[in-house]
Chain A
């Protein structure tokens, strides 16, 4: 299950390519023919897309049994497992890219997961929802209650998203960990906001950020 709201997920199915628009952003960052691990690969949409369109050697990890069944039944190499327990066995640099889409905020220890991802992958691609997005700020300011948005559609007591961050928070953590942001894409529902993670606009107008990361 994606920690994002299901309604949102199905609403944002991209036309033509058959994958969600946020997955498409990630796919753009992947070099053809590379080795990819998709952490939390769901029903395998991104993996299938990358294998088909970019000829990658793709692997996946997925928590939900239904997701794993769907993946393996279509010939994808996916194991049932958990990002927090099942990543650590891979050798350093086992993959060209380790992808984590919209789930970092649902991890118990996001920092450790980032550390592991940038160790077992030569690069990591992480997409995170921005809790500093202006609509979220306004909601909290005006209503005084935990924001519930179209993208983050859970009440506080049911949300799997236990470690929210803003784009600024993410950038600071990456710096602290010695992780270089090689590329980033800050987007909202109207499209691309900026390619500069440090821009103040990014943290205010971006609904989510997609980061291409590399450990220095």
Chain B
């Protein structure tokens, strides 16, 4: 597999929010571009729930292009000719970082449900160790969408001195009841699959593919929007002239969802899905850092956060609606933080941050260029 892997927490295990300890543990990561002499041009990309660190590489399992080639690369808004871009697979994940499918050194067997429950804070703690390992004191920027955006917020609140600029996209400072509910549907689908085997499927030689596929299908609907689904599929039938009066995939949208489910199980571990969705559910910055008030989370020693923020939301995103971003903006205003906020008008739903949205890309480019100027980063010379 392309990319790097480092073992962290060797001298001292990492203490998790649950009180459990993890270590030594592996973090798989990928880098693009070059770190400058004073180590001030590093951009950390935080991936979403089912993402990974293959931002620009062809995916080793699916063969698909990198998941953020729209935004990242030479000459792109996150310009790899200018910035040193890092992305790591979250702990609890299944693409090389330590997670439930990896072997527990204590037992010699896969962790399964023996893996400790992790939080967004724990994921970021592991990323902080990685960044330190790379010899970087302060990241120029931390950027990510959805769960990646939660990590961005966590970075800014937990390590404000280590972040110059933060770009949380299509995200929230806490997971809403509706979103926890959707996650619970997904988890129940997995656990209802007999092949899940109480989480021991790797030992039993089974795979809960049906449960995981259903979880993915349900979740996938939440990433889109009603207009986008209608535009793409309408009530069109799949390779047939009339309905079949049965439960075959008559409609194109059914066929599409089934395809989404089937391809997902090839690349994702069911237990990882349980752990990572749980981490998102537990996320609540105001409760964890602000005594219930979000603005307090952005205040330290009586002063507002020094981090420069740029938030973006998408008008048709009903999973992380604009109101969630606005609540963060209001909290940042309350500490007079330096913040930009844009709602992008689009009908493509939550997934918009991964898609071709030129206005969104312009905004990110402008914000990063402005920050780079303040940070004294030189412009790359173009031929």
A residues contacting B by CB (< 8 A) are: 57, 59, 65, 68-69, 71-81, 86, 89-91, 94-95
Contact = CB atoms under 8 A, between A and B. Distances in A.
A86 B334 contact: no
B334 A65 contact: no
B318 interface: no
B363 interface: yes
A93 to B, nearest CB: 9
A77 B332 CA distance: 12
A94 B299 CA distance: 14
A60 to B, nearest CB: 9
B168 to A, nearest CB: 14
Contact of A69 (B329, B363, B370, B373): B363
A105 B329 CA distance: 26
A75 to B, nearest CB: 2
B342 A86 contact: no
A91 B341 contact: no
Contact of A65 (B330, B345, B366, B370): B345
B50 to A, nearest CB: 29
A78 B345 contact: no
Interface residues of B, number: 29
Given A80-B343, A91-B334, 16 more contacts: A59-B338, A59-B339, A65-B343, A68-B341, A69-B363, A71-B340, A72-B310, A73-B362, A73-B365, A76-B370, A77-B340, A79-B339, A80-B341, A81-B341, A89-B330, A89-B333
Interface string B301-333: 000000010100000000000000010011101
A75 B373 contact: yes
A69 B333 contact: no
9 contacts: A57-B338, A65-B343, A65-B344, A68-B342, A69-B363, A72-B363, A74-B366, A75-B370, A80-B342
Between A78, A79, A95, the greatest number of chain B beta carbons within 10 A of the residue's beta carbon is seen for A79
B351 interface: no
